[in-house]
């Protein structure tokens, strides 16, 4: 049962949940190296039906994890997509079996830089092999197959999660029926790579970096905090920042900044350090930057193999993943006569819009998932 602190968020909640872990013998990466053994942390919500055709894989963004809905014991706030996952919600756990896993290369239970190397008993840290978006999806496929699921009802995700959903449609075209891509892209632009590079350089410039072989007592915390501050700026729109902060002074006795937006970013950076690993930040942002299905004719050729319906959602105020990148995906799908619905929402929250509660977004997701029309549903 939810605690008194959880009541604000608990309407329609899946309740208390637990992150589980499963181990596979190995995974050969696209770069040729092998992860042995392969560990995947995951959570599930709802019940897999007898036909095993009601499963939806939900893919998380850069700083997310397997905890997409419900509460962990003692938590005051639910998983990152709780507004949309639960009984009667868009991802209705009375109808669907929802699976959410932590990406490999991350730091929340799946194989990554924090994994202990069996050869020396120490974490791999920066000696962990490079991991791509394709590798993340191939690891997820092992988890899906473990459940005996041949074809997913849907794969859904925003930002990096949207890239994973796209990769699923290309790598396993016969394994999913529907694909939901939100605030995402078929490849990063030079500007998007630039933002991530600044974050990585902040970490590499930290005196505690030590080539990525730092101790937990002497982590590159300042560098990681700066990387998060830089990233967080890109997640919000100018309108949202102007409305929320304007030119107000900082709250409390904060000497290191003159403005409220500065104190907010400092808080975001410092709190991020407590829950994320610097090596994982570098690994995951590099996976994002190296992901490429192409644009124009190249993307059209790649998407010619897909066999599922698509819902693509963009946000007018998202300047990190601007709508033109979503439109590029839609055009390539349309050229291939793939059923696709495109929605551009005028949500003022910027890139973070896909994560935030929205009745309009809830309705769009709900209608798409419940639609049996093989064409455009809007």
Tell me how far apart the alpha carbons of residues 361 and 357 are, in angstroms, rounded to a whole number.
Answer: 8
First-to-last CA distance in the chain?
38
**276, 277, 288, 19: which is closest to 135 by C-alpha?**
288
Contacts of 131 (CB under 8 A, 6+ apart): 29, 103, 104, 105, 112, 283, 287
Binding-site residues from annotation = 228, 352
Query: What DSSP character marks residue 130?
Result: P
Asked if 208 and 356 touch (Cβ cutoff 8 Å), the reply is no
Is residue 72 part of the annotated active site? The answer reads no
Consecutive H or E run containing 141 = helix 133-146
Is residue 318 part of the annotated active site? The answer reads yes
Tell me how far apart the alpha carbons of residues 93 and 88 are, in angstroms, rounded to a whole number.
Answer: 7
Can you tell me whether residue 70 is helix, strand or coil? coil
Asked if 368 and 341 touch (Cβ cutoff 8 Å), the reply is yes
Binding-site residues from annotation for substrate = 228, 352
Is residue 332 part of the annotated active site? The answer reads no
Buried b (16+ CB within 10 A) or exposed e, 293-327: bebeeebbebbeebebbbbbbbbbbbbbbbbebbe
Asked if 198 and 230 touch (Cβ cutoff 8 Å), the reply is yes
Looking up tokens 């730092």 gives 214
Q: Give 55's strand partners.
A: 97
Residue 293 half-sphere exposure toward CB, CA atoms < 13 A: 29
Tell me how far apart the alpha carbons of residues 50 and 371 are, in angstroms, rounded to a whole number.
Answer: 21
> Catalytic pick from 100, 159, 237, 353?
159
Q: Which residues are catalytic?
A: 159, 318, 351
């Amino acid at each position: 049962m939810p605690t008194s602190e959880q009541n604000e968020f608990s309407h329609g909640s899946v309740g208390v949940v637990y992150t589980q872990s499963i181990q596979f013998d190995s995974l050969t990466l696209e770069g040729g190296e092998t992860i042995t053994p392969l560990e995947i942390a995951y959570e599930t919500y709802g019940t897999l039906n007898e036909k095993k055709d009601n499963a939806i894989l939900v893919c998380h963004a850069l700083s997310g994890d397997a905890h997409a809905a419900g509460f962990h014991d003692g938590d005051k706030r639910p998983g990152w997509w709780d507004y949309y996952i639960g009984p009667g919600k868009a991802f209705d756990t009375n109808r669907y079996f929802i699976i959410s896993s932590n990406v490999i290369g991350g730091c929340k239970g799946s194989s990554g830089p924090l994994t202990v190397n069996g050869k020396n008993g120490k974490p791999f840290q920066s000696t962990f092999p490079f991991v791509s978006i394709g590798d993340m999806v191939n690891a997820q496929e092992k988890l899906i197959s473990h459940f005996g699921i041949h074809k997913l009802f849907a794969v859904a995700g925003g930002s990096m999660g949207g890239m994973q959903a796209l990769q699923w449609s290309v790598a396993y075209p016969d394994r999913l029926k529907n694909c939901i891509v939100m605030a995402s892209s078929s490849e990063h632009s030079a500007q998007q790579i630039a933002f991530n590079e600044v974050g990585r350089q902040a970490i590499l410039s930290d005196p505690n970096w030590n080539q990525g072989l730092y101790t937990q007592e002497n982590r590159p915390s300042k560098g990681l905090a700066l990387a998060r501050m830089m990233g967080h700026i890109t997640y919000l729109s100018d309108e949202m920042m102007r409305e929320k902060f304007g030119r107000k002074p900082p709250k409390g006795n904060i000497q290191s900044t003159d403005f409220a937006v500065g104190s907010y970013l400092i808080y975001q950076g410092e709190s991020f350090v407590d829950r994320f690993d610097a090596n994982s930040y570098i690994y995951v942002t590099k996976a994002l930057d190296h992901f490429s299905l192409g644009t124009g004719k190249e993307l059209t050729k790649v998407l010619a193999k897909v066999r599922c319906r698509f819902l693509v959602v963009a946000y007018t105020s998202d300047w990190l993943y601007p709508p033109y990148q979503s439109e590029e995906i839609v055009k390539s799908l349309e050229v291939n006569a793939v059923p696709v619905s495109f929605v551009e929402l005028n949500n003022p929250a910027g890139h973070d819009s896909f994560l935030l509660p929205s009745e309009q977004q809830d309705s769009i997701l709900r209608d798409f998932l419940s639609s049996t029309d093989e064409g455009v549903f809007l």
